[in-house]
Amino acid sequence: MKVLLTGAAGQLGHALRQQLPAGIELIATSRSGGDGLVPLDLADAEACRAAVREHRPHWVLNGGAYTAVDKAESEPELALAVNGVAPRAFAEALLDTGGRLLQVSTDFVFNGRQGSPYRPEQPRDPLGAYGASKAAGEAAVEQLLGATGGGVILRTSWVIGPVGRNFALTMLRLHREKAEINVVADQVGCPSSTNTLAQACWRVITANVQEPVLHWSDAGAASWFDVAVAVGELGRELGLLENAAQVNPITTAEYPTPAQRPSYSLLDCSSSREILNLPPTPWRQALLTVLQTHR
């Protein structure tokens, strides 16, 4: 089986390459190429279509994305090109070649106002430019591949991993550098480690899952404050920190950002776990693995 992977140099891409199942021929791409990676700029729709026509993959695993949530407010066209137009281009090309698309998406396609976990079938209602761009990508996959069953959307949340840039590693650095950290405590969701997320992605492909929309995160619920505290506690247990900083809870209003974030974006993953036949991993346990493997 041949799989075209986008975003191979990113934190999820790193985990996906590490967990490559036997029997899969991987065409790993990134915007800059290098290090054995094929260059592919997701902002170039024609390049996306050409990559599918050239390689004729059985699956496109679109793990690449424009993820700078705040910067997207000043670069909405670029965010839309990468997150919305590229999935459409892949889908258009796959209609001709016959392959399937796994589109990795986000909890930011929801507004966060309902106060209970979001189910896969619920309608999208994004708050900002980033969420809108990811919602456009989902809509394109549904519109073009929905009738043929050629597309699977896998939404996830709060992605953390041992490499790259993410909240857990930022908190680890701040615990080392500061005596106190102020962290937002009124936004609730759940971290998703790249380790378990990669497992879910590969299960979709190797099991040829037909479900059009899936949700995946680690198990439980947390605020950003909870995660920051846990990074300090686990960092000390692992010997990564001599001392943990004091973490002070603050409100979203006390930490204004260009982009509005959903206040509650927990994803209901129960049906997806059954479909994928993958057990839940408590988020703190997944975070421990992230910190253990960080280098």
The DSSP-derived string for 245-284 is PEEEEE-GGGS--SS---SB--B--HHHHHHHT----BHH
Q: Mind giving me the DSSP string for 18-70?
A: HTPPTT-EEEEEESS-BTTBEE--TT-HHHHHHHHHHH--SEEEE------TT
pLDDT of residue 180: 97
CA nearest neighbour of 107 among 250, 214, 226, 249:
214
pLDDT of residue 24: 98
pLDDT of residue 33: 85
The pTM of the whole model exceeds 0.75: yes
Of 118, 130, 255, 264, catalytic: 130
Domain limits of the chain?
2-158+193-217+266-280
pLDDT of residue 258: 96
User: d(Cα 158, Cα 168) in Å, to the nearest integer?
Assistant: 10
**CATH class of the domain defined by 2-158+193-217+266-280:** alpha beta
Calculated CA dihedral for residues 108, 114, 120, 126, nearest 10 degrees: -30
Per-residue pLDDT tens over the stretch 215-235: 999 999 999 999 999 999 999
φ/ψ (deg, to 5) at 21: -70, 155
User: d(Cα 218, Cα 98) in Å, to the nearest integer?
Assistant: 32
Q: In this structure, what DSSP letter does residue 143 have?
A: H
pLDDT of residue 261: 94
Which residues, given as ranges, of the chain have pLDDT below 70? none
Contact in structure between 38 and 31 (CB atoms under 8 Å): no
pLDDT of residue 82: 98
* Active site annotation includes 130: yes
